[in-house]
Each structure stands twice: as C-alpha cells, then as structure tokens.
Amino acid sequence: MPNPNNPNGFQFVTVFRPMPPRIRKFIKVVGTTVAIFQNDVVYAAGGASGETKSPIKSFADGATPGTTLPVGVALDFGSASKRTQHHVIVDFESDFVAQDNDGTTGILGTDLNKNANVDPTGVAGSSLTGFSGNQIDKSTVNVSASRDLLLIQLWPDVNNAFGPNARVICRFNREREVPGSVGI
C-alpha cells in the first residue's frame, strides 16, 4: 500500500533529554503577506521598530533552503497580513517527523544518516486546518553539512514505508543555536 501524500509540516516527536523542548514566543508582523502555519519552519525576518525580539516569517515566505538559518518550528497558526504571536520550538535537540516531497522514488533506507533541506514551497499550508505544507526536499539528500536537516529514521507506523511520500524522523543541523553537522 503506498504512503499517503499528506504533508503537515514538521511535527515535534521527542528530544534527547527527559524534559520539554525549549520554546520561545515570537511575533509575525502585520506586513507579512504569508501566513505561518502550525508545524511551519520559521526564520528571523530582521528587526522591526518597537519590537524587542526579531520577528519571524514562514520558510515559505522567501527563505532559501540550505542558506537561510531556521529559528525553529511554529506551534500555532497565524493569518497572513496580521500581527500574530507564535510559540516556536527553538530546541536544537528536538526531533520532528516530516514527509518527503518525492512522489516517485522518495526517501530510501540508504538516505538515512544523510542531510537534506526543507522544501517550503512544494505544498502550501491549509487555511482550513491551519497545518503546514513544509516537507523534506528529497532532491537535496547528501552528506553536506550545509543542509538544514539530518535524516534519522523512518517514522514507525504501519502506514509508512520507504519510498514516495515517506515520513522520516529528522533533526535540524542548522538552527540559530546549533552549528552544522555532517551526515555519515
């Protein structure tokens, strides 16, 4: 049975240490015309007048995967063109599960312990559910430390297998609080 094509961003699944992940509150400014969806990868949008913290944007709002440094993963939805507050997992030791964007070959067992980028543009988030459409960009899988993610293991689910639209547990290599790491 093929894997369902149902991307919903980067869902938090676990951390290395026995405590909740580090979460910080950020804002999305009014002028941002792209919504932030739950489980969206977000990045710092630069300073804004009167703000104490750097505002954030969704990776789907102009980020360059492999170059733009992620802040973390948003835990809540915020409409486009509105000032919204977001709780963001900023913990570089957190693991997430995400789907790959390749409907033909998908992630295989030989891709594990390698690195890949976030594909923020493949599927838009859903304004109906509020969930992200961010996925793992299968075409960027290699050992380069400049990639956004480390692919750890296949998500253990009876409805998930290696191949097209595989869901994989991953961790950010590149985040504001962690240097890059090299895949094996």
Question: CA-to-CA distance for 97 and 174, rounded, in angstroms?
Answer: 16
Residue 101 half-sphere exposure toward CB, CA atoms < 13 A: 20
pLDDT given at position 181:
45
Question: CA-to-CA distance for 94 and 12, rounded, in angstroms?
Answer: 7
Question: CA-to-CA distance for 163 and 73, rounded, in angstroms?
Answer: 25
pLDDT given at position 66:
87
Domains of the chain: which residue ranges? Answer: 11-172
- How do residues 39-71 score in pLDDT, each as one tens digit? 999 998 875 444 456 799 999 888 888 888 899
- How do residues 124-173 score in pLDDT, each as one tens digit? 788 888 899 999 999 999 998 889 999 999 999 999 999 999 999 999 98
Residues 6+ apart with CB under 8 A from 29: 45, 48, 51, 55, 83
What amino acid is encoded at 69 in this protein?
L
pLDDT category at 83 given cuts 50, 70, 90 is very high
What amino acid is encoded at 77 in this protein?
F
pLDDT given at position 101:
94
pLDDT given at position 30:
84
Mean pLDDT score, 73-91: 93
CB 43 within 8 A of CB 134: no
pLDDT at 176 over 90: no
pLDDT given at position 177:
58
pLDDT given at position 122:
67
pLDDT given at position 53:
67
- How do residues 98-108 score in pLDDT, each as one tens digit? 999 999 999 99
pLDDT given at position 127:
83
